[in-house]
């Protein structure tokens, strides 16, 4: 098969180069959508006179989306520059922990703030930072274990869903669940290395999960009042 570019010490196949280009394009689209989403969320909470924790939640969630999609896009864009690519690979994997914590934050700081939401948010961010540090030293190792950690951390708030179902909205819970399933099912393709264009497929699942979670945040979580004990 034709080769065009060298990545590290290995020649990349033409198909791999095409996939990397589309990997960058798909998550480049994610950057644009995330920026738009952040603006929309800020407009939503400000026009509805929400307090500072709602504004902070929207900013954290929006920036975590932008950061994750940016690191992924840069990683796949610099595939012909081994040193740069390795740096962004670390940031790309670390950004997943940031996004998970960033996605949990609006739920914890707004509707669940009276259910020890702030304390739980702090714990989740500590776990995320530990994950980031772990990725810095093990980005090329334990891929299946890292993926399992992503999935488990992503479902940490599953125990709060009954509370949200009753006091927030069944529709919100459904959107949160569907988003989680998009990410989780996508992890299968992320690990399925023998499948052609498996990483590109994973990217579409990530976009699907992000869109579902954004919908839940924008239409339900950021508009709801804190649930009282």
Q: Is 116 annotated as a binding residue?
A: no
Q: Is 167 annotated as a binding residue?
A: no
The three state secondary structure string of the chain is CCEEEEECCEEEEHHHHHHHHHHHHHHHHHHHHHHHHHHHHHHHHHHCCCCHHHHHHHHHHHHHHHHHHHHHHHHHHCCCCHHHHHHHHHHHHHHHHHHHHHHHHHHHHCCCHHHHHHHHHHHHHHHHHHHHHHHHHHCCCCHHHHHHHHHHHHCHHHHHHHHHHHHCCHHHHHHHHHHHHHHHHHHHHHHCCCCCCHHHHHHHHHHHHHHHHHHHHHHCHHHCCCCCC
Helices 198-219 and 52-77 pack at an angle, to 10 degrees, of 170
User: Which residues are known binding-site members?
Assistant: 76, 199, 203
User: Which residues are known binding-site members for Zn(2+)?
Assistant: 76, 199, 203
């Amino acid at each position: 098969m034709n080769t065009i570019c060298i990545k590290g010490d290995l020649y990349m196949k033409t198909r791999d180069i095409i996939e990397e280009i589309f990997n960058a394009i798909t998550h480049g689209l994610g950057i644009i959508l995330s920026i738009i989403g952040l603006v929309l969320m800020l407009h939503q909470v400000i026009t509805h006179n929400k307090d500072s924790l709602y504004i902070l939640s929207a900013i954290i969630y929006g920036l975590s989306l932008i950061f994750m999609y940016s690191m992924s896009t840069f990683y796949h864009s610099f595939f012909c520059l081994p040193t740069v690519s390795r740096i962004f690979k670390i940031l790309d994997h670390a950004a997943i922990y940031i996004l998970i914590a960033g996605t949990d934050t609006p739920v914890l700081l707004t509707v669940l703030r009276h259910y020890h939401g702030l304390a739980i948010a702090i714990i989740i961010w500590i776990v995320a930072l530990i994950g980031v540090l772990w990725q810095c030293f093990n980005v090329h190792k334990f891929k299946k274990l890292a993926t399992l950690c992503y999935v488990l951390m992503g479902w940490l708030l599953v125990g709060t869903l009954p509370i949200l179902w009753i006091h927030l909205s069944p529709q919100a819970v459904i959107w949160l669940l569907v988003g989680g399933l998009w990410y989780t099912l996508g992890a299968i393709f992320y690990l399925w290395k023998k499948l052609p264009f498996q990483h590109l497929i994973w990217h579409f699942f990530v976009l699907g999960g992000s869109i579902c979670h954004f919908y839940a945040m924008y239409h339900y979580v950021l508009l709801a009042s804190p649930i009282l004990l």
